[in-house]
Amino acid sequence: NPAKSKYHPIDDACWSKGQAVPYLALAKTLEAIEGTSARLKMVEILSNYFRSVIALTPEDLLPSIYMCLNQLAPAYHSLELGIAETYLMKAVGQSTGRSLAQVRAAARAAGDLAAAAAAARHTQRTLRAPPPLAARHVFAALQDVAAMTGQASVNKKIAKIQTLFVACRHCEAKYLIRSLEGKLRIGLAEQSVLQALAVATATTPPHPQGVTVLDASKGLSTEEFKARVDEHALIIKTTYCECPDYGRVVAALLQHGVPSLPLHCRLEPGTPLKPMLAHPTRGVHEIFDRFEGEQLTCEWKYDGERAQLHVPGDAAPRLHHAAVFSRNQENNTTKYPDVLRRLPSLLKPSVTSCVLDCEAVAYDVANKQILPFQVLSTRKRKDAREEDIKVQVCVFVFDLLYLNGRSLVREHLATRRQLLREHFNQVPGEWQFATSKDCSTMEEVQQFLDEAIRGSCEGLMVKMLTGDNSRYDIARRSHNWLKLKKDYLEGCGDSLDVVVIGGYHGKGKRAGVFGGFLLACYDPDTEEYQSLCKIGTGFSDDDLHKLSTALKEHVIDAPRNYYRFDAAHRPDVWLAAACVWEVRCADLSLSPAHRAARGRLHPDKGLSLRFPRFIRERDDKTPEQATSAQQIVEMYLSQDQVKNQAAKQTSHD
Ligand code: ATP
């Protein structure tokens, strides 16, 4: 519901045309966003800032967007910030003449290193004030810091951070330190940034020849303006999903304007797109309730690792440029030299370029048997040499998203599947299409589920085959793909991916390692990690050893100020939110002590997992991609006993 704004992008900006955007303008925008919890207000504040950038210094739009999101580059460049806290403390200490212990104590007292650093910077006098920071220079410096690697780089990083830090004015230090910590914590989700861009471009459209239109909403009725914003939002969001690279999207947007963005910025082999995700379901009934009268197809749900396979090409496929990307758009190409070498057997001569959505699964070639995920996870993650590879992989292809220069994401699944079968070969044990069956009765689905489980699969993926709902919903957890796992009947419908935030020292047989852990879900609305349960089951001795060793590097001396927990669960050791684990549980229940989703269902009760057990590490997920507070609410509400209770309540009322 965007309201027309009275903001004047030139008069109200604190810099003039052609001048580099001062970092202070961005920091003040972030501060204003942090000061509000209303999403519409956040979008308005940010869109006003973007309007000024577009009108005055469009080349600073890209660094501005990246810094609002605390990103440095597209995910597949694997360039990440998140400097170890001690180094940041050292940089702050050295710039303000304090010892590490003093900075540490101040950070603990303020509950936040960024706040303590900002206070220290404030009281500090400098002989000659360094020139003010420009947003683009801060961004370039952040990229430099992230790109420095190796032990020898530590001092260089600290020096670079110091140079920035001493030049900070007003609230700049706070946001600089937070950016370096890898967490902005202003409650600004990516969707809001894209929405702000839509509002900004609908009001102050970029113009290739530099003609500045300050307020294109003038002359439009409120309804017309809203329609324009909606149209821009749809174009920008879909374009970004097909091409998750702000560099390309922003360049095209500035050069050609939003309406023609889809013509200039499309899905292309080489740029991984955000994958379609599925919703959990608790049973065959639910599927038919949802998809009544629709044409359904079920596919075996393989338990491996998602692999988006890209083959670029013009007249012929450029096989040596083929790449494999993970669920998170990370580049996994060097993990699969064996798979890529076999590419020629997959492509029929009609293929010049393609993008395939697949699951890479460990495979016992001799016995023609799918192997569990645990076996796959023993493969080397990077720079694997083919001669060293022991675990063979069979790639199960389940979707075709791009073929011969054409994006297929808007096509129906039935069409995509037909093209897949027409243009690609199957090679047993190497390349196979996901086993599928178009089902029209519950019995058929149930029977096919049993077959999938006998075939060593996790369950089924149930998908719409035709109609608009069978398009590939990029980046969405869509109800048009449902996952039906074999254990949907026992306990809750799906496993959860949770973040480890604390450890408890083991006793007896487990002495010397952690014996239990405090787990949390993530709430993207508040950017908090909220305690969900303690866990001590499901681990082998070997797991505990390995996990305890791996977690050592994440030990921190106090809980982050964005952790939510009850004092009764205080762990022996706090851990930085870094590791994601998959866990299962018997069910979810309301809890006065745990903080997951507190306030969403009950003013002072959260949700917790009963009888949680560890399944595996999820190193393909970042902590922000853990199961969210809202998903936990949905899982709780979909439990039969909760549904029955609600039904009883309604009938009593
Ligand atoms: P999510 O990705 O939904 O957060 P997750 O990573 O825990 O959850 P699952 O719940 O296991 O994944 O289910 C989705 C995943 O199943 C897909 O990301 C994909 O890797 C895998 N998969 C296996 N077989 C198929 C198939 N036939 N169609 C789609 N996905 C499949």
Of the listed ranges 85-94, 208-217, 266-275, 592-601, the one predicted with least confidence? 208-217
Which residue's CA is the closest to the ligand 1 atom numbered 7?
497
CB of 277 closer than 6 angstroms to any ligand 1 atom: yes
Please choose from 302, 370, 584 the residue to mutate so as to test ligand 1's pocket, defined by most ligand atoms within 8 A of CB.
302
Asked if the model's pLDDT at residue 459 lies above 60, the reply is: yes
Measure 133 CA to ligand 1 centroid, in angstroms: 44
What pLDDT does 649 receive?
A: 64
Which pLDDT score is estimated for 264?
A: 93
Give residue 534's identity as a one-letter amino acid code.
K
Q: Which residue do the tokens 């004092």 mark?
A: 567
pLDDT of 225 reads 94
> For residues 3 and 208, is the Cβ–Cβ distance under 8 A?
no
pLDDT at res. 413: 97
Q: Which residue has the tokens 């022991």?
A: 390
Token pair for 538: 């499901």
- Angstrom distance (rounded) from CA 514 to CA 551: 9
**What does the alpha-carbon distance between residue 259 and residue 633 come to, in Å, rounded to a whole number?**
38
pLDDT tops 80 at residue 244? yes
- For atom 17 of ligand 1, the residue with the nearest CA is 306
Kindly give the distance from the C-alpha atom of residue 276 to the centroid of ligand 1, in angstroms, as a whole number.
9
pLDDT at 428 over 70: yes
Positions marked catalytic:
301
Task: Supply the DSSP symbol for 372.
Answer: -
Q: What is the pLDDT of residues 149-207, one digit of tens each?
A: 887 888 899 999 999 999 999 999 999 999 998 888 888 888 899 999 999 999 999 97
Structure tokens at 244: 């998750």
278 lines ligand 1 (CB under 6 A): yes
Give residue 484's region: left, alpha or beta (phi > 0; psi -120 to 50): beta
Q: Is the pLDDT of residue 82 over 70?
A: no
Which of the listed residues 457, 461, 488 should we mutate to test ligand 1's pocket, taking the one with most ligand atoms within 8 A of CB?
A: 461
Q: Grade residue 415 by pLDDT with cuts at 50, 70 and 90.
A: very high
Supply the pLDDT for residue 129: 78
pLDDT reading at 380 higher than 70: yes
Residue of 326, 314, 311 whose CA lies nearest to 269: 311
- Three-point CA angle 537, 627, 232, nearest 5°: 170
- Are residues 68 and 188 in contact, defined by beta-carbon separation less than 8 angstroms? yes
Cβ-count burial of 215 within 10 angstroms (0-12 exposed, 13-18 middle, 19+ buried)? middle
**Whole-number pLDDT of residue 487:** 63
**Residue of 306, 399, 463 to test ligand 1 pocket, by largest number of atoms within 8 Å of CB:** 306
Over residues 88-108, mean pLDDT: 92
Give the list of residues 6+ apart from residue 138 with CB closer than 8 angstroms, or none: 23, 63, 67, 164, 176
Mean pLDDT, to the nearest integer, of 342-366?
Answer: 97
Query: What percent of the chain lies above the pLDDT cut of 70?
Result: 95
Q: Give the sign of the dihedral formed by CA 393, CA 397, CA 402, CA 404.
A: positive
What is the CA(277)–ligand 1 centre distance, in A?
7
d(C-alpha 472, C-alpha 355), whole Å = 13
* CB of 327 sitting under 6 A from ligand 1: yes
pLDDT band at 560 (very low <50, low <70, confident <90, very high): confident
DSSP 21-85: PBHHHHHHHHHHHHT---HHHHHHHHHHHHHHHHHH-GGGHHHHHHHHHT--S-GGG-------H
Query: 278 alpha carbon to ligand 1 midpoint, in Å?
Result: 7
The alpha carbon of 351 and the centre of ligand 1 are apart by a number of angstroms equal to: 26
Task: Render 247-271 in DSSP notation, one character per residue.
Answer: HHHHHHHHHH-STTHHHHS---TTS
> Considering the chain, what is the average pLDDT of its residues?
90
Amino acid at 1: N
* Stretch 253-269: mean pLDDT: 93
CA dist., res. 335 & res. 376, Å (int): 11
**Predicted pLDDT at 647:** 65
Most confident region among 373-382, 431-440, 550-559 by mean pLDDT = 431-440
Q: What is the pTM of this model?
A: 0.77
**Res. 19 pLDDT band, cuts 50 70 90:** very high
The DSSP code sequence of 574-593 is: EE-S--EEEEE-SEEEEESS
Predicted-complex ipTM score: 0.96
Share of the chain above pLDDT 90, in %: 65
Mean pLDDT confidence for 351-377: 94
- How far from the centroid of its chain's Cα atoms is residue 304's Cα? 19
Ligand 1 site, residue 359, Cβ cutoff 6 A: yes
Q: What residues have CB less than 8 Å from 167, skipping those under 6 apart?
A: 129, 130, 131, 132, 133
The total of other beta-carbon atoms located within 10 Å of residue 152's CB is 8
In the predicted structure, residue 653 carries a pLDDT above the cut 70: no
